[in-house]
Amino acid sequence: MDDPFLPPYNTICGIYCIYRKSILEVLSGKITSFNSYKFKTNFSSDKLIEEEDFEDVLDFAIFVVISSEDSEYISHYFIGGDSERLNSILNICLGYPQAENQKILNNTLKHFNKDIVAVENMEYLDNILNEHP
């Protein structure tokens, strides 16, 4: 919790550990989408970790810290691990970008549109759009 990129402690509303091999394979691009046959097959055979195995998971898992300033919407996140695809998912969850400077806004919108395409290619965009608070 000493990492300077972590959101402020008082705004953290969830800490998640992604360790299922099938999910990590989608996030790394080894499996193309969450709706693919390969993902569904691998997901059903993934082993869940036991408490005594947790130390081993730290070597390959991705940790995600989600924070909210208003306890309703995501305001910040931190990814402990390398996952461009997970970053795209969470960027979309942050919402449509806003900026007062037009040049910054145009640049941010380009990245946001790339994130939308990436998440759509994973066949996960509908899950985000149909999420109800």
CA distance 1 to 60: 19
Regarding beta strands 76-80 and 62-67, do their DSSP bridges make them parallel or antiparallel, or are they unpaired?
Answer: antiparallel
Read off the pTM. 0.84
Given this model, what pLDDT does residue 55 score? 75
List pLDDT tens digits, range 55-84.
777 778 899 999 999 988 899 999 988 899
Per-residue b or e along 32-48, where b marks 16 or more CB atoms closer than 10 Å to that residue's CB: eebeeeebeebbeeeee
Q: Is the pLDDT of residue 11 over 80?
A: yes
Given this model, what pLDDT does residue 79 score? 93
CA distance 80 to 65: 8
Closest CA to 23 of 47, 58, 52: 47
- Which of the two residues, 48 and 2, has the higher pLDDT score? 48
List pLDDT tens digits, range 82-128.
899 999 999 999 888 887 788 878 888 999 999 999 999 999 999 98
Query: Phi then psi for 63, rounded to 5 degrees?
Result: -105, 140
Given this model, what pLDDT does residue 29 score? 93
Given this model, what pLDDT does residue 22 score? 95
